[in-house]
Amino acid sequence: MAIVDAATSPAQEVRADWRPWLACGLAVLSATSYLVTMVLPYYAAGLPSRDSLYLYEADAQWPYTSAAGPLVHLLSLWALAIAPVLSLAVAGWSACRLWITRSQPAARSVLWTAMLVSCATFGWFTTPLSADLVGWMLD
């Protein structure tokens, strides 16, 4: 058995895994796009109830009429078309990666964050208020 000096042993390159951070970023982007484009106009307009929701145009409310209006319109496309599917995909991918890396507890906090944010976002899509806000946006 030979003693290997640490200075002469070849250094192993350790690369950080960027995929959990990408999943977490996409989950946060999906949640943020939904909040900014649908929930924020609803509460900023001070609507008394969901019954009076269709009396107002969604794109005539505050975030859409501000200087960031074109960006908010792009985010609304993301929130309506991509965010529900992406939230489900990120939750499934994060759950799979959590199962694969169950013996490495150090690198799992970002995966837990991505999975919890995407599950909360997808869960919000199934609520009655969400259905009313999507109908309000599409009206």
Predicted confidence (pLDDT) per residue in 4-37, tens digit: 555 555 556 667 789 999 999 999 999 999 999 9
Find the mean pLDDT for residues 62-78: 90
DSSP state of 56: S
φ, ψ (nearest 5 deg) of residue 10: -65, 135
Q: Is residue 10 part of a domain?
A: no
Collapsed DSSP state (helix, strand, coil) of residue 87: helix
Is it the case that residue 3 has pLDDT exceeding 80? no
Q: Is residue 110 part of a domain?
A: yes
Q: Is residue 8 part of a domain?
A: no
Q: Is the dihedral of CA 69, 73, 74, 79 positive or negative?
A: positive
> Domain residues for 44?
19-138
Q: Is residue 107 part of a domain?
A: yes
Based on the structure, what is the number of domains in the chain?
A: 1
Q: Which helix (H) or strand (E) holds 49?
A: none
Q: Is residue 9 part of a domain?
A: no
What is the pTM for the complete model shown? 0.81
Query: Can you read off the two tokens belonging to residue 93?
Result: 């991918």
Nearest one of 106, 102, 122 to 114, comparing CA atoms: 122
Q: How many contiguous H segments (helices) and E segments (strands) does the chain have?
A: 7, 0
Query: Can you read off the two tokens belonging to residue 112?
Result: 């837990």
Q: Is residue 24 part of a domain?
A: yes
